[in-house]
Chain A
């Protein structure tokens, strides 16, 4: 196969990954790395480098829109970015130390967890009206616009959220993904931040987290320009398209299909990793 054909095929794959990633809210990276390694037989280190670059592009593109809407909590975002960036540095250094087989297995396990988290129905809960001491001292409590006016919320369990965020950062740096699912889990479940605020703040944080490990990847030679080019442009185009059709899309059905695809990819990654096929 020539570089031209390869670039065209990878572009198509990246557009699909970006489209599915934005429609399901899981991000393009989770399908992209398995796609590149399993289907295109690209070395996982190049795949992870290219994926990470595309993560920065989509996150920054989406955050540009959300920042103005007043949903994301910028204080919570900056504070938790301390955890995610240190985690991302650690993850990126780990990626240069451990074997590609081990990375593939960790990737597969992470896919399984993401599929589980994404398929779980979200139970709306009553918001806590009790302020938390630490969160209040850190002035994290916020408000956001809803259909019935401005709604206030109290942030809780900051240390738990901070700890999960460190893990999310490390996974992002190790696997070249945004780990948005884990970030949302930390804010929505642990810190009791409203879902809409959690998802937009997570998006706002993903680019910064990825930038922390991108420098390490670049200097270690993991970012191949010829591969990163179609991946970044394709995922960016796919996620813009996704954002356009999201209001009309049947996400219930899509999540089911996406869940099945992820399950399949997870098994493949773990199998290939365990048998040394990667």
Chain B
């Protein structure tokens, strides 16, 4: 098996599981607030106008979520969801390092950097 250390596999399995469940819980919570406040309004999804800046960038999302806005909380849950695979790759860097597998640690770092670039810089 690629990993001799079963602990790393367990940690990764748990990161994925709790990441998904946690983000689903946050999305449900935010969705309930959003529907309670805006459920009766007509739907705005027919025409593309792009999300407002506050729901596009990490600082804006954190701010909207902190002020208990439903859509801000949903975006926070989705951010956690996007971060879950990134955390998985980050843990696999640790796993490969522990195995002294430098080549694959570098591969995992490349993947991790592409993911962080997309989330933070794109």
Contact = CB atoms under 8 A, between A and B. Distances in A.
Interface of A: 1-4, 6-7, 40-43, 45-46, 53, 56-57, 59-61, 63-65, 67-68, 70, 73-75, 78-79, 81-82, 85-86, 88-89, 92, 100, 138-139, 142-143, 207-208, 210-216, 218-230, 232-233, 236
Given A208-B85, A211-B85, A57 B17 contact: no
B45 A43 contact: yes
Contact of A225 (B9, B34, B110, B117): B34
B17 A232 contact: no
B82 A215 contact: yes
A136 to B, nearest CB: 13
Nearest to B46: A41
B30 A208 contact: no
Given A43-B45, A43-B46, A233-B27, A74 B3 contact: yes
Contacts of A53: 78, 81-82
Contacts of B117: 89, 215
A221 B55 contact: yes
B65 to A, nearest CB: 10
A4 B70 CA distance: 14
Contacts of B27: 228-229, 232-233
Interface string B48-62: 101110011100000
A250 B80 CA distance: 36
Contacts of A216: 118, 122
Interface residues of B, number: 66
Nearest to B114: A85
Contact of A42 (B12, B34, B45): B45
Interface of B: 1-3, 9-10, 12-14, 16-17, 19-20, 23-24, 27-28, 30-31, 34-35, 38-48, 50-52, 55-57, 70-72, 74-75, 78-79, 81-82, 84-86, 88-89, 92, 101, 103-104, 107-108, 110-111, 114-115, 117-120, 122
A225 B71 contact: yes
Given A56-B85, A74-B2, A74-B3, 12 more contacts: A3-B35, A43-B45, A43-B48, A64-B14, A79-B104, A208-B88, A211-B84, A214-B118, A215-B118, A228-B74, A229-B30, A233-B31
B43 A229 contact: no
A229 B34 contact: yes
A56 B110 CA distance: 20
Nearest to A41: B46
B16 A212 contact: no
Nearest to A100: B48
A226 B104 contact: no
A208 B39 contact: no
Question: Which has the most chain A C-beta neighbours within 10 Å: B10, B51, B89?
Answer: B51
B16 A63 contact: yes
A203 B50 CA distance: 30
